[in-house]
């Protein structure tokens, strides 16, 4: 039930933040709605909807078999963190190194992370795909993509 | 009507010239390629390729650009089915059952039914376009702010729980979507909301970023988390015979397709992101009337056939306001309007009379275009289905590259990419907490428009709330909304009473 | 280990080998972007797409249109002002550029731009349905004065050029309208066609096609001269109301763009404007080509900035 409560609390918090932030804006009334009125109402509704979820989470009963399904789905969360980290680094470099190098970088690093440890073959594949992507998107379709330090 | 038919036949004469067939084909192929790349939807595609049409005569130019438009619609469904990445906004619903089918080794039938359904619905829609355009255009005009508001409230109530499951959770997601939709500029007063001083947030959160992030990136992350045994599992790729829909598949789908064609056409006339709404509506309808509702969400073929057909039908319908009124209701048609004007054709009430060869030529080529796309897409189904054979450790990084590139092409903004990744994480987290993404997107799309319509209506009526029930169309939708809201609650209470009584008897 | 280093070096060399971008070349060496701070299909968008089509051949490189709609233009202008002053990112500058900074806190004013060329000067106007209750301007104005807040006038966005035109007009005639904002010119005209509002404030080419078809008519024309396409429609000035309001639409580059590049751009676009294909498009859209060179355009921007500053302050009172 930790799952249900967590979900409920998450939305409760979002609702509260929305209400607080929008009450600082000009609210007006329904006839002449101000900027903050609509988000304010939405936030209140969100709070109202998340309360039952939180209650259900704290006091409700567990459905059968949920425990097993949860256990089955438990996986390597640190893989996810690493995956996001590598992706973020590549994206941070997106504008500075240009599209071509970015493609190579992101493919190489993510494939390596997911188990493709053979540097040479990984590298060759990344290079091929990056080149292919560059050809199709930049040259063929003429889509504006960042040019990096090597001018591609 | 006879005259229309006659002119349509003449139109075919224009459309079937070798030149125009070529342009149609080019447009369709390029459109499909563009549609497959997530994010780079028909808008950008058409805009990018307008310059390529400068040397052509207006008819050929529009044939090609229109080809790109629905080619992109066709292509968008491919990545939805294979990778859970919505190729463009209207393909979101296709992800739900399409992806599940692919996971069960049924990618082939899913892709094929997308093409087949789109073709059938598109053809039906074209006939609707031909015969009913002027009437429907007039009808569309009778929608003012109060009608829009009631319609959208109705749509919201009817469709927020599109996937079934917990109503509360779906509503939570829908409201969250609406809140996200308020980020940016207040459409009525122009004041900034929730932007924290950022110039980027002034234009709001890009819908495509949310769609690709929630569905595509979220799925990638969920896969990354899997333990090695699950991760390494290869998807069962079926034999050639099973790559195409079986007879029973087709039988089940045809009803969905026909219903979707009509439904999508009607929805497509409404201004705004009509194709997206059409897909939600079709899915909802199919789920409600299906004899196997529990299959929806697990790979029901109607859940793919319906939305995809509705999508295509709505796109064709979107041409009606453009051609009959000269007013584009959706961004892709706005770009087409620009292209028309550049080529010297001013769409509007007089266009059909003044440029009949053009109009009928374009209509005929739409039919041809639909046919061409079917021919193009069907043979590629095995090729696409085999993409799923690529080991995940290679496929997933490819998907990331794909999504990031596509995302960037929409606004040339790196912030969009960060938003996409953020929503990817959110999608991953919400998945673990048992929340669905589809209602959030609905809220994101409807929210801002709902708010604008509400405020406009009250400005028109000087603060008088009765404006929503004093006009016939608005009244009907309000009533419909109330019915959809209270009837299920009523039935639930009745069921609960019966269950309690039953327990009482047994106890 | 050594093997890996060699392989890596090989890759790096392969990637670096295509020529690095050369410096100080003839402008332009790549495509030029025009940021349009409004939605696709709107008046500004259509005009500049047509112009880009003709000017491309004189510039020698493709001209790409990028739409950055939002905030009545705020978003597009903010981006345009911040762009690199190398001549590759231009902005379509229209009258609201000089109005917006007085209404909201913006990160830009006209001073952040280098004017290149002005393309059109379109009068603002009010359109109504041909079957509406007012047959003449006099009837319309009299009714407006007697029934404040009753006539609903749609506009393409709160605080936008045409909205302000409507506000200024009501001040000039001593009336009060009920202004209803829409998300662009298209939706506002649709609402008028459907009879949901009484009038709409627009400028060509918005609505022209419907006037030609006879569904809408020009109730009030705020230009200095009559429209070429509708020579029988008098301006409000001719009818005794001393009020004119027009929108200029031109191109600008970020401040700091070198003068030689501005001149090159100016010349290319001027040729594009004179191109018969553009002239024909303009005629079809009933827009009024009105060339102004860089210096004159700059003067107009400065003048309007002051003018609208005063107007906005007066209206806010």
Name the residue among C41, C71, C205 with its Cβ closest to that of B328: C41
Name the residue among A10, A36, A46 with its Cβ closest to that of B179: A46
> Considering the domain boundaries, does residue B236 fall inside one?
yes
Instruction: Round to whole Å and give the CA distance between C84 and C82.
Output: 7
Please indicate if any CB of chain C lies within 8 Å of the CB of B271.
yes
Q: How many domains does chain B have?
A: 1
Q: Average the pLDDT over each of B336-350, C153-167, C274-288 and give the range with the smallest value.
A: B336-350
Output the CA torsion C194→C198→C200→C205 (10° steps).
50
Q: How far is A13 from chain C (nearest CA, A)?
A: 29
Cβ of B459 within 8 Å of Cβ of C180? The answer is: yes
Q: Average the pLDDT over each of A47-61, A92-106, B96-110, C14-28 and give the range with the smallest value.
A: C14-28
Cis peptide leading into residue C107 (ω within 30°):
no
φ, ψ (nearest 5 deg) of residue A27: -90, -40
Q: How far is A56 from chain C (nearest CA, A)?
A: 42
Q: How far is A119 from chain B (nearest CA, A)?
A: 13
Query: Is the pLDDT assigned to residue B389 strictly greater than 80?
Result: no
Instruction: Round to whole Å and give the CA distance between B460 and B146.
Output: 9
**Half-sphere exposure (Cβ direction) of C290: Cα atoms closer than 13 Å:** 18
- Is residue B219 a contact partner of residue B423, using CB atoms and an 8 Å limit? no
Comparing CA positions, the residue from C73, C87, C70 lying closest to residue C34 is C87
Query: Is the pLDDT assigned to residue B325 strictly greater than 80?
Result: no
How confident is the model at residue B180, as a pLDDT?
Answer: 93
Q: Name the region of B283 (left: φ>0; alpha: ψ -120 to 50; beta: rest).
A: alpha
How confident is the model at residue B20, as a pLDDT?
Answer: 81
Instruction: Tell me the count of A-B CB pairs closer than 8 A.
Output: 147
> Considering the domain boundaries, does residue B501 fall inside one?
no
Judging contacts by C-beta atoms under 8 Å, the chain C residues touching residue A120 are: 7
Residue B156 in tokens: 């919201």
Tell me the mean pLDDT in the region C79-93: 89
Report the residue of B41, B203, B332, B474 to disrupt the C interface, i.e. the one with the largest count of C CBs within 10 Å. Answer: B203
Report the residue of A4, A12, A35, A66 to disrupt the B interface, i.e. the one with the largest count of B CBs within 10 Å. Answer: A35
Tell me the mean pLDDT in the region B404-422: 84
pLDDT tens string C247-278: 899 999 999 999 999 999 999 999 999 988 88
> Considering the domain boundaries, does residue B356 fall inside one?
yes
pLDDT tens string B283-318: 988 888 888 888 888 888 888 999 999 988 888 888
CA closest to A116 among chain B residues? B393
Judging contacts by C-beta atoms under 8 Å, the chain C residues touching residue A123 are: 7-8, 11
Residues 6+ apart with CB under 8 A from A68: none
- In order, the DSSP letters of C28-50 are PSS-EEEEESS-TTSHHHHHHHH
Cβ of B169 within 8 Å of Cβ of A107? The answer is: no
ipTM: 0.87
Give the global pTM: 0.81
Q: How many CB atoms lie within 10 A of CB C13?
A: 9
Query: Is the pLDDT assigned to residue C115 strictly greater than 90?
Result: yes
Query: Is the pLDDT assigned to residue C90 strictly greater than 90?
Result: yes
Helices (H), chain C: 2-16, 43-59, 74-82, 96-103, 137-146, 161-173, 185-193, 208-213, 259-274, 276-285, 294-316
* Per-residue pLDDT band at A73 (split at 50, 70, 90): low
Please indicate if any CB of chain A lies within 8 Å of the CB of B48.
yes
Residue A96 in tokens: 């500075």
Cβ of A101 within 8 Å of Cβ of C31? The answer is: no
Instruction: Round to whole Å and give the CA distance between A11 and A101.
Output: 40
Query: Is the pLDDT assigned to residue B69 strictly greater than 60?
Result: yes
Cβ of C16 within 8 Å of Cβ of A150? The answer is: yes
Please indicate if any CB of chain A lies within 8 Å of the CB of B433.
yes
CA distances from B103 to B81, B99, B106, B238 (A): 9, 6, 7, 11
Cβ of C21 within 8 Å of Cβ of A100? The answer is: no
Q: How far is A39 from chain C (nearest CA, A)?
A: 18
Give the A window 105-134 contacts with B, CB below 8 Å.
106-107, 110-111, 114-116, 125, 129, 133
Query: Is the pLDDT assigned to residue B145 strictly greater than 60?
Result: yes
CA closest to C44 among chain B residues? B338
* Per-residue pLDDT band at C24 (split at 50, 70, 90): very low
Please indicate if any CB of chain C lies within 8 Å of the CB of B143.
yes
Domain that holds residue B100: 2-470
Beta bridge partners of A145: none
Q: How far is C167 from chain A (nearest CA, A)?
A: 19
Please indicate if any CB of chain A lies within 8 Å of the CB of B428.
yes
How confident is the model at residue C22, as a pLDDT?
Answer: 33
How confident is the model at residue B103, as a pLDDT?
Answer: 83
Cβ of A10 within 8 Å of Cβ of B433? The answer is: yes
Name the residue among C11, C18, C33 with its Cβ closest to that of A152: C18
Name the residue among B193, B396, B447 with its Cβ closest to that of A110: B396
DSSP 8-state secondary structure symbol assigned to residue A33: B
Please indicate if any CB of chain B lies within 8 Å of the CB of A17.
no
Residue B166 in tokens: 């917990």
Cβ of C284 within 8 Å of Cβ of B346? The answer is: yes
Please indicate if any CB of chain C lies within 8 Å of the CB of B238.
no
Judging contacts by C-beta atoms under 8 Å, the chain C residues touching residue A127 are: 11, 14
Report the residue of B342, B353, B457 to disrupt the C interface, i.e. the one with the largest count of C CBs within 10 Å. Answer: B342
Report the residue of B193, B200, B325, B329 to disrupt the C interface, i.e. the one with the largest count of C CBs within 10 Å. Answer: B325
Name the residue among A127, A144, A151 with its Cβ closest to that of C11: A127
DSSP 8-state secondary structure symbol assigned to residue B321: I
Mean per-residue pLDDT over chain A, rounded: 80
How confident is the model at residue A65, as a pLDDT?
Answer: 53
> Considering the domain boundaries, does residue B314 fall inside one?
yes
- Is residue B227 a contact partner of residue A76, using CB atoms and an 8 Å limit? yes
Neighbours of chain A (3+ CB pairs under 8 A): B, C
How confident is the model at residue C298, as a pLDDT?
Answer: 92
pLDDT tens string C207-240: 887 888 888 999 999 988 888 888 888 898 888 8
Q: How far is C282 from chain B (nearest CA, A)?
A: 9
Report the residue of A26, A149, A150 to disrupt the C interface, i.e. the one with the largest count of C CBs within 10 Å. Answer: A150
> Considering the domain boundaries, does residue B487 fall inside one?
no
B69-78, B261-270, C134-143 — most confident range? C134-143
Q: How many CB atoms lie within 10 A of CB C213?
A: 16
Give the A window 106-135 contacts with C, CB below 8 Å.
119-120, 123, 127
Please indicate if any CB of chain B lies within 8 Å of the CB of C41.
yes
Beta bridge partners of B184: B193
CA closest to A119 among chain C residues? C4
Name the residue among B142, B184, B338 with its Cβ closest to that of C194: B142
Judging contacts by C-beta atoms under 8 Å, the chain B residues touching residue A30 are: 458, 463, 465
Neighbours of chain C (3+ CB pairs under 8 A): A, B
Give the B window 396-435 contacts with C, CB below 8 Å.
411-412
> Considering the domain boundaries, does residue B438 fall inside one?
yes
Name the residue among C7, C15, C21 with its Cβ closest to that of A101: C15
Name the residue among C21, C31, C33 with its Cβ closest to that of A151: C21
Name the residue among A6, A115, A141 with its Cβ closest to that of B433: A6
Cβ of A119 within 8 Å of Cβ of C15? The answer is: no
Q: Average the pLDDT over each of A97-101, B111-115, B316-320 and give the range with the smallest value.
A: B316-320
Q: Do the bridges between strand C32-36 and strand C89-94 make them parallel or antiparallel, or are there none, so unpaired?
A: parallel
pLDDT tens string B24-39: 888 888 788 777 777 6
Q: Which helix (H) or strand (E) holds C249?
A: strand C246-254
Cβ of A104 within 8 Å of Cβ of C64? The answer is: no
* Domains recognised in chain C with CATH numbers: 32-121+246-316 (3.40.190.150), 125-221 (3.40.190.10)
Report the residue of C9, C15, C32 to disrupt the A interface, i.e. the one with the largest count of A CBs within 10 Å. Answer: C15
Tell me the mean pLDDT in the region A35-45: 88
Mean per-residue pLDDT over chain C, rounded: 83
Instruction: Round to whole Å and give the CA distance between A112 and A118.
Output: 8
């Amino acid at each position: 039930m930790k799952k249900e409560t967590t979900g409920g609390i998450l939305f409760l918090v979002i609702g509260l933040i929305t209400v607080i932030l929008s009450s600082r804006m000009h609210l007006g009334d329904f006839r002449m709605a101000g900027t903050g009125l609509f988000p304010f109402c939405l936030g209140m509704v969100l709070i109202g909807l998340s309360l039952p979820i939180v209650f259900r989470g704290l006091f409700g009963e567990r459905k059968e078999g949920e425990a097993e399904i949860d256990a089955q789905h438990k996986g390597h969360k640190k893989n996810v963190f690493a995956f996001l980290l590598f992706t973020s680094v590549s994206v941070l470099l997106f504008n500075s190194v240009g599209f071509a190098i970015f493609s190579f970088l992101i493919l190489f690093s993510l494939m390596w992370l997911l188990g493709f440890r053979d540097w040479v073959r990984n590298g060759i594949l990344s290079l091929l795909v990056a080149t292919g992507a560059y050809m199709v998107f930049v040259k063929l379709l003429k889509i504006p993509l960042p040019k990096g330090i090597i001018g591609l | 009507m006879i005259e229309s038919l006659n002119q349509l036949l003449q139109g075919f004469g224009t459309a079937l010239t070798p030149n125009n067939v070529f342009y149609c084909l080019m447009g369709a192929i390029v459109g499909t390629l563009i549609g497959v790349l997530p994010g780079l939807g028909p808008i950008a595609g058409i805009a990018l390729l307008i310059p390529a049409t400068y040397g052509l005569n207006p008819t050929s130019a529009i044939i090609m650009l229109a080809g790109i438009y629905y080619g992109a619609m066709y292509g968008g469904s491919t990545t939805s089915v294979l990778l859970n990445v919505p190729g463009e906004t209207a393909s979101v619903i296709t992800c739900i059952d399409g992806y599940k089918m692919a996971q069960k080794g049924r990618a082939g039938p899913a892709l094929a039914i997308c093409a087949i359904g789109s073709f059938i619905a598109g053809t039906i829609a074209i006939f609707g376009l031909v015969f009913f355009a002027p009437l429907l255009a007039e009808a569309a005009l009778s929608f003012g702010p109060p009608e829009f508001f009631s319609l959208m409230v109705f749509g919201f109530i009817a469709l927020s729980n599109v996937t079934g499951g917990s109503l509360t959770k779906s509503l939570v997601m829908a409201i969250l979507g609406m809140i996200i939709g308020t980020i940016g500029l207040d459409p009525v007063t122009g004041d900034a909301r929730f932007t924290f001083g950022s110039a980027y947030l002034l234009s709001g959160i890009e819908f495509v970023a949310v769609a690709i992030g929630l569905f595509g990136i979220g799925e990638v992350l969920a896969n990354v988390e899997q333990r090695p045994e699950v991760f390494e599992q290869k998807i069962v790729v079926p034999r050639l015979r099973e790559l195409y829909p079986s007879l029973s598949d087709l039988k089940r789908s045809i009803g969905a397709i026909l219903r979707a064609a009509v439904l999508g056409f009607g929805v497509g006339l409404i201004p705004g992101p009509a194709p997206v709404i059409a897909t939600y509506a079709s899915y909802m309808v199919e789920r409600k009337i299906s004899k196997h509702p529990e299959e929806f969400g697990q790979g029901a073929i109607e859940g793919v056939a319906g939305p995809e057909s509705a999508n295509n039908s709505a796109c064709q319908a979107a041409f009606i306001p453009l051609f009959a009124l000269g007013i584009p209701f959706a961004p892709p048609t706005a770009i087409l309007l620009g292209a028309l004007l550049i080529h010297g054709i001013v769409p509007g009430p007089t266009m059909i009379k003044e440029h009949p060869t053009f109009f009928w030529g374009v209509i005929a080529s739409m039919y041809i275009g639909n046919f061409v796309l079917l021919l193009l897409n069907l043979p590629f189904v095995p090729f696409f289905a085999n993409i799923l054979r690529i080991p995940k450790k290679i496929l997933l990084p490819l998907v990331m590259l794909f999504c990031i590139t596509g995302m960037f092409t929409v606004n040339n903004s790196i912030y969009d990419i960060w938003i996409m990744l953020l929503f990817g994480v959110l999608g991953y987290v919400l998945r673990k907490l048992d929340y669905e993404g589809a209602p959030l997107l609905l809220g994101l799309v409807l929210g801002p428009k709902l708010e604008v319509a509400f405020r406009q209506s009250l400005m028109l009526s000087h603060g008088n709330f009765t404006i929503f029930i004093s006009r016939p169309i608005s009244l009907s939708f309000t009533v419909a909304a109330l019915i959809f809201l209270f009837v299920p609650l009523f039935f639930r209470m009745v069921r609960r009473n019966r269950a309690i009584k039953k327990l009482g008897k047994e106890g | 280990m050594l093997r890996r280093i060699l392989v890596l070096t090989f890759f790096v060399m392969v990637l670096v080998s295509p020529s690095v971008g050369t410096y100080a070349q003839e402008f332009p060496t790549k495509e030029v972007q025009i940021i349009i701070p409004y939605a696709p299909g709107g008046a500004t968008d259509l005009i500049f797409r047509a112009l880009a089509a003709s000017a491309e051949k004189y510039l020698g490189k493709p001209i790409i249109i990028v739409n950055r709609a939002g905030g009545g233009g705020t978003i597009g202008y903010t981006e345009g002002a911040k762009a690199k002053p190398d001549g590759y990112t231009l902005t379509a500058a229209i009258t609201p550029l000089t109005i917006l900074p007085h209404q909201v806190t913006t990160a830009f004013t006209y001073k952040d731009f280098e004017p290149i060329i002005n393309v059109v000067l379109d009068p603002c106007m009010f359109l109504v349905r041909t079957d509406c209750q007012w047959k003449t301007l006099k009837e319309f104005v009299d009714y407006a004065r007697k029934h404040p807040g009753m006539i609903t006038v749609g506009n393409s966005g709160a605080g936008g050029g045409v909205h302000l035109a409507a506000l200024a007009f009501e001040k000039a005639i001593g009336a009060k309208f009920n202004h209803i904002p829409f998300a662009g010119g298209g939706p506002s005209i649709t609402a008028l066609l459907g009879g949901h509002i009484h009038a709409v404030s627009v400028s060509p080419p918005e609505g022209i096609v419907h006037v030609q078809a006879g569904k809408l008519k020009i109730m009030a024309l705020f230009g200095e001269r009559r429209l070429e396409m509708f020579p029988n429609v008098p301006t409000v000035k001719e009818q005794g109301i001393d009020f004119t309001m027009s929108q200029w639409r031109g191109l600008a580059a970020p401040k700091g763009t070198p003068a030689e590049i501005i001149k090159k751009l100016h010349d290319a676009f001027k040729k594009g404007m004179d191109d018969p294909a553009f002239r024909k498009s303009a005629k079809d859209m009933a827009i009024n080509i009105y060339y102004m060179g860089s210096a004159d355009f700059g003067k107009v921007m400065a003048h309007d900035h002051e003018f609208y500053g005063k107007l906005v302050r007066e209206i806010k009172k």
